[in-house]
Structure 1
Amino acid sequence: MSLPAGARSILDAAASLFSRTGFDAVSLSEIASRAGVCKANIFHHFDSKEALYLDVMREACKGHAEFAEQLLLQPLSSTEKLLRLVEFEFHDMFENEARTQLIFREVLNAGSGKGREIAENIFQRNCDAVIALFQEGVDRGEFRPELDPGIAAWMLGASEMMFFQNRNILSRTPGMGNATVPAEYAVKIVKTLLHGLLPDNAASVAVDAAQFQRKPT
């Protein structure tokens, strides 16, 4: 959705400030000052501070949701889709670190009333798309029939969050090797999710084949 220039500057300013200190610590006066507008101008575009925050969160999350939804429509194996999704998410996280911190703050604070509203109105779209990807793999017979798509989606998200937040620690952790590189970590996550702990090399073969078949984008 295209926004008027004034609304765009307010949204960008709010995103920058919210990502640093969170919702409660940021005032509308600070947002107006950062955006170069008067405080009253904020209410011309947004009904309230809460409405502005929801729009900031919605915009922060929409790229992931749109990518995952489009990925579901592609004529690719479920393994290839999963690998592409994880690689996209890591690229997006590190390209937009402030926005990522904002999203993670809300994920970790979802017990608040505001957090629940964000989870129900914004995060759910993202979760639904990832769950659908895992469900597709089950339905196609590419993933184990007993796989729980919801649990798999949350495991994937949690592992990505831990990598983003703790990558400096990982680089000093014995045994991690090249898993400290986002692209390598992405492959290892997918192999672990698909292969689990059982002595079966089917998942490794599938991921390796998906990597080999990928066309440069």
Structure 2
Amino acid sequence: MTTEPSTSTRSEPDAVARILAAAATLFAEHGYDRVSMNQIAAAAAVSKANVFHHFSSKKELYLAVVRGACNAAERLRTLGEPGGPVSRRLPDYAEGMLRDMLEHDQIHRLMMRELLTDRDDRFDRDLAERVFGDTFARLVAILRSAQETGELRREIDPAMVATLLIGASVFFFQSREVLRHFPDVRFAQDPSGYSRMLVDLLLNGMAATAEPATRKIRKDAV
């Protein structure tokens, strides 16, 4: 005879999802410091004890919210999968990263604000090691592997490439509303085009002899 799971067991994933959603909204609207666990519990329609059952502290809950907004695992898996050059998949990776920022606008703005806030070193270290560090390290490893196969230049520091790729995406995310008022900026309303131009520039530079990435991609596909 099969025993049905209890109502409380069945509702556990739903409770966690409600807590994360409530925390994401409150953190984004008010900032980390101005949100209490009581407020999160009330917004999620659960008890404060239930929140602490799943998350040991407000910082742990905040880190979980930020990890969820980053959504990088699947993009990195696709970028690093075998078969075909990384350069063919890098434009899609960059586009997906920027799209996630734009779709989770409030949370990413909160992240940027927190990164600029003067907090204790442990808080910054936790953000680096438990939220951004693994994603950054995996991206660097994928780029380094492409260097070892001869696809990318070996003398370029892959961490520098990763930094430029992420940094340029963050700049677009933060500045697009201002950029759209510049008459020479035609890509402010085209994040996909921006990401692909960015990757083309990273792969080929500005030298007149450089071959556009789109042309190289078509050659590789033949």
TM-score (norm 1): 0.85
**Which sections of structure 2, spanning at least 5 residues, go unmatched?**
1-10
Change in CA separation of 1:3 and 1:189 when aligned onto 2, cut-off 3 Å = farther
SS in 2 for 1:18: helix
1:107 positional shift: 4.0
**Which sections of structure 1, spanning at least 5 residues, go unmatched?**
none
| Contact kept? 1:87, 1:186, Cα under 8 Å | yes
The code of the aligned residue for 2:112 comes to F
* 2-structure distance, mates of 1:211, 1:171: 31
Structure 1 residues 66-75 or 147-156, which shifts more? Answer: 66-75
Per-residue CA distance 1:115-138 (angstroms, 9 max, x = gap): 221211221111012212321232
Equivalent residue for 2:142? 133
Change in CA separation of 1:151 and 1:6 when aligned onto 2, cut-off 3 Å = same
* 1-structure distance, mates of 2:154, 2:54: 48
Match runs of 1:65-104 below 5 Å: 65-104=73-112
* 2-structure distance, mates of 1:107, 1:82: 26
* 1-structure distance, mates of 2:46, 2:137: 37
* 1-structure distance, mates of 2:143, 2:215: 19
Q: Aligned pair 1:208/2:210, yes or no?
A: no
Equivalent residue for 2:200? 191
SS in 2 for 1:114: helix
* Aligned-residue identity in percent: 34
Q: Higher Cα Rg: structure 1 or 2?
A: 2
| Contact kept? 2:72, 2:97, Cα under 8 Å | yes
| Contact kept? 1:60, 1:103, Cα under 8 Å | no
Change in CA separation of 1:74 and 1:84 when aligned onto 2, cut-off 3 Å = farther
* 1-structure distance, mates of 2:16, 2:94: 32
Q: How many residues align?
A: 210
| Contact kept? 2:20, 2:61, Cα under 8 Å | yes
| Contact kept? 1:82, 1:133, Cα under 8 Å | no
1:209 positional shift: 4.1
Equivalent residue for 1:47? 56
Equivalent residue for 1:152? 161
1:164 positional shift: 0.7
Equivalent residue for 1:34? 43
* 2-structure distance, mates of 1:48, 1:80: 42
Equivalent residue for 2:65? 56
Give the alignment's Cα RMSD to 1 decimal.
2.4
| Contact kept? 1:19, 1:102, Cα under 8 Å | yes
1:71 positional shift: 2.1
The code of the aligned residue for 1:75 comes to G
| Contact kept? 1:179, 1:188, Cα under 8 Å | no
| Contact kept? 1:65, 1:129, Cα under 8 Å | no
The code of the aligned residue for 1:189 comes to L
TM-score (norm 2): 0.83
The code of the aligned residue for 1:21 comes to H
1:17 positional shift: 1.3
* 2-structure distance, mates of 1:81, 1:3: 37
* 2-structure distance, mates of 1:185, 1:54: 29
Change in CA separation of 1:178 and 1:123 when aligned onto 2, cut-off 3 Å = closer
